[in-house]
Structures are given as C-alpha cells and as structure tokens.
Homo-oligomer: A and B are copies of this chain.
Amino acid sequence: MNKHVGTETIRQWALKDIGRSNLELVEAAKPVPADNEVLVKIAAVSLNYRDNLLVETGLGFSRPNGQPMVPGSDAAGEVAAVGSAVTRFKPGDQVISTFMAGWVEGLGPGTARQPTSATLGGPLKGLLADYAVLDQECWVKAPKSLNAAAASTLVCAGLTAWTALVERGRLRAGQTVVVQGTGGVALFGLQIAAAHGAETLVISGDDAKLERAKALGATHGINRHNQDWVEAVWEMTGDRGADHILEIIGGAHLGKSLEAAAVGGRVSLIGILEGFDVSGSFAMLARKRLIVEGIQVGHRRSLEDLVRAVDRAGIKPVIDAEYEMADLPVALDHLARGPFGKIVVAVNPKK
C-alpha cells in the first residue's frame, strides 16, 4: 500500500479541481512498485464518456487531502518492474488494466447502502501517466493480436459489451442484437455479436455511420430519423423482436427498447445520454417476461475471456482517432462530439 517513490520524474495528467481549466499535464515522481505491485510503462489510454464527466462534474468523488485526481482508466502498456511478491507478471509482459479493483469474479464488491466505487480514474488514481503502479491483481495479459492502442479499448468499452451480451446474456448464433449508436460500446457490441454468428441491427441518425457499421459486419442499419426504429426491428425480425438490446441512450428511451425486445429478451442498461432515471411500460416488461439488467463494465475473469475471444475470433477494435499525450483536451473534445468507436491517447508510442 505504501507507494515508494523514486527520483525519476514522469508526465501525468492532473485535475486540480472540477472544470477543464484545472486539467494540467504535470511532472510527478516515477512510482516504485511495492511488494504486490506491478509498474507498467503506459503505451496507450483509451477514453470514455465518463472521463469527460469526471472533468466537468467530479462525479461526486472527493479529492483526498486536496490531491489532484489523475484521470484515465483504460490503459495498455508493458511491465517495467514488479514487486518482490508478484507472481502473475514479469518485466516485458504486455498488459491492460482492470477498471474495478478487486472484482475478480462473481457478484463483486459493494453493499446495498454503499455500491462499490473502487474504480480507476476516480475515485482511485488513474492511468494517464508515463508510468503507473497497481496491485498485481489489477492487470491482465493483453491480447497477442492487438497493438497497445487497440488493446486499451477492451478495458471498459469492450468488456461492457461482452458482459452484457456474453457473460450475462448468453449470446448465441442466430439471435438478434440491437445496438444504439456507433460509439465505443455500441461498435464492440456489433463486433462481438457478429463474432458469435448473431444478426446485428444498428440504430443511428447518420447514414454515413450506418454504412461504416455495415462494413464492420452489421446486418442492417436503421436511421432513426427516417423511420420508427421499433417498427423497423419488428419488421426485420418477422415480428419476433430483438433478443438483446444494448440500451445506451437511457432515460425514457428504455421504453422503446422494451417494445423492440423479443419475448424473454434482455435489455442491458449501459448509457445515460438522455437521463439518469430510466423508465418504461410495465405491460411490456410483464407480458414479454423481459429482463432489464444494469451493466457496470465487468469482472476480471470476463476480461480474460474477452482477451481470448479477441485473439481467437480476430476482433479488431475501432479507433476513430489517436492523440498524443499532450493533446488530451483535444481528444476529450472529440469524444464529446460523439466518435465512431474509440478515442485513444498514445502515451509512449513505440518508435
């Protein structure tokens, strides 16, 4: 727990207080791994919607001792050094981070009163830095088939889609999956579903993005400006409806997903673009025996499963743009505009 500190310095993003103007690239002491810790030379950090929320709202996290927060949770890099008690990794290993400390498998930590929040990049120190240390239990071997930028996108976006569709959803060939939009989780949902032989319907307001989604393997694209997407799902499935829906918009939009779902279908709650309170019709829920499940990224064993799946099935994460370390603010702006897939910050690009 005691982080020994060396004399070398590293670059690190720090958020002194809420607000973009308080985000600074600073110098910090290079961390030294304690007995159970692994020091990683970060190569890439991929950004999430949540990172912008942290900068703009603080997400309700207190800053202990007034210390600046370090944003960024989804990193890939190379093990630079290991503590004396480390058994899971050795220097030179390519690794990715796990979003939620200590959730190895099963239900996971937390209580009814205090749902867990031991998550990286707030409240825990994040990874937008040249080097970072975490307990050895908080890293996972990276897939062999991806470079660091692509590997970093699995940590939250990839794992969220995997948890919803596979770990919890038992996705199988021949089922129908609806994904909303073309952001990071949506495109992973599309690719994971396609890798399992499922039919995929992508909903977007942008024909160009729908074309790109089809090039990635989407069975159908539905432009929600041109047609009622629920009616479109009914028609495309011969009235059967969708077995899985990734609800990324949230709020009252859940009601539409309930209409689009097949009997016994599953709606995975992932996003909150339209509001923190979700709502929908009891009649749809009861008469179709639907399941609505809240998804919070996923556990480490699932991430290890996803890594194997990515290597085996040849899934290539979609990166809309890569930015240099110093350009984090530009990257966050791009993220706020709604990328096609993921935005990645290259921290220590291999030369």
Contacts and interface: CB of A to CB of B under 8 A. Distances in A.
Size class of the contact patch on chain A: 35 or more
A233 B278 contact: no
Contact of A234 (B113, B240, B250, B313): B113
Given A276-B282, A309-B172, A239 B288 contact: no
Interface in A264-305: 264-265, 269-270, 272, 275-296, 301, 305
Of A233, A265, A308, chain B has the most CB atoms within 10 Å of the CB of A308
A166 interface: yes
Contacts of A5: none
Contacts of A110: 263, 287-288
A264 B110 CA distance: 10
B313 A285 contact: no
A196 B174 contact: no
A351 to B, nearest CB: 31
Nearest to A199: B312
A105 interface: yes
A336 interface: no
Nearest to A171: B172
A117 interface: yes
A150 to B, nearest CB: 16
Given A112-B242, A262-B111, A263-B115, A285 B269 contact: yes
A114 interface: yes
Given A105-B104, A107-B264, A291 B289 contact: no
A259 interface: yes
B173 A195 contact: yes
3 A-B pairs closest in CB distance: A112-B241, A285-B294, A174-B309
Interface of A: 1, 85, 104-117, 166, 170-175, 192, 195-199, 219, 233-234, 237, 239-242, 250, 255, 259-265, 269-270, 272, 275-296, 301, 305-313, 315
